[in-house]
Structure 1
Amino acid sequence: MTDRTEKVIIVEGLTDKKQVKKVIAEEAEIICTNGTLGVEKFDELLDNHDLDNRDVYILVDEDSPGIKLRNQLSRELPHARHIYVSSEYREVATTPENILATELVGKRIAVNPIFLI
């Protein structure tokens, strides 16, 4: 794992991942959980991505499943930083790029400046 980036952004689904990839301007690994995680799946995620030793960001939807996942990840990864989308948009995938970019910049994640207008 010598080629890995230090930053990991955990999202729920593929559309969330695409939205984040569109906005960020630095190398970061974006991991899709595809919903809540069982113990075995979480342990696999933890080991495969060395989450205990990396800068982890949690960016999930502001709906019931997203909040449940955020709570689960918070317990398992207490060092993780949280990025929130407005409940007005509810989902990462439907959050306008400029709003998402502002939230990411607030956590010191580089974004494409065209989204900060």
Structure 2
Amino acid sequence: MRKCLVVEGRADKLRLVPILAEEVTILCTNGTISEVDLIDLLEAFEHDEIVTFFDADKNGEKLRKLMNRVYPEAKQYTIPAQYIEVEKTPTAILRDLLQQAKFLVR
């Protein structure tokens, strides 16, 4: 089964790409997104395993709640609160989270 990784923004995507040792589709919500826009964004990937990496802030929490409502089968991972954002999280922590999500990492 293919995997689709959903993050908030381009900086998050650019932070994760060098850590991944496999080809993964990474989609960006570009911050706050509506339910309709989220469905449109993920429509082509609904048969893939959807994994989320959202920030540990207010927008990240809104996105987690929206994902729970729209795609409850998605596996959600939260950045540790002390780092707040994916792009500010140390590589070792991101690598561990990606491994927990069953991604191959460098």
Q: TM-score range by the shorter chain?
A: over 0.9
Shift of 1:52: 2.1
Distance 1:87 1:40 in 2: 28
Structure 1, unmatched stretches of 5+, are 113-117
**Counterpart residue identity of residue 109, structure 1:** F
Distance 2:39 2:99 in 1: 29
Matches within 5 A, 1:76-91: 76-91=70-85
Which of 86, 92, 97 aligns to 1:103? It is: 97
Aligned residue for 2:84, secondary structure, equals: coil
Distance 1:64 1:29 in 2: 25
Matches within 5 A, 1:39-78: 39-47=35-43, 50-78=44-72
Equivalenced residue count is: 106
Q: Structure 1 residue runs of 4+, over 2 Å off?
A: none
Q: CA RMSD in A?
A: 1.3
Cα 1:39–1:103, aligned 2, differ >3 Å: closer, same or farther? closer
Aligned residue for 2:87, secondary structure, equals: coil
Structure 2, unmatched stretches of 5+, are none
TM-score, scaled to structure 1: 0.85
Aligned residue for 1:93, secondary structure, equals: helix
Confirm or deny: 8 A CA contact 2:8 2:54 kept in the other structure: yes
The structure with the largest alpha-carbon Rg is 1
Alignment identity in percent? 33
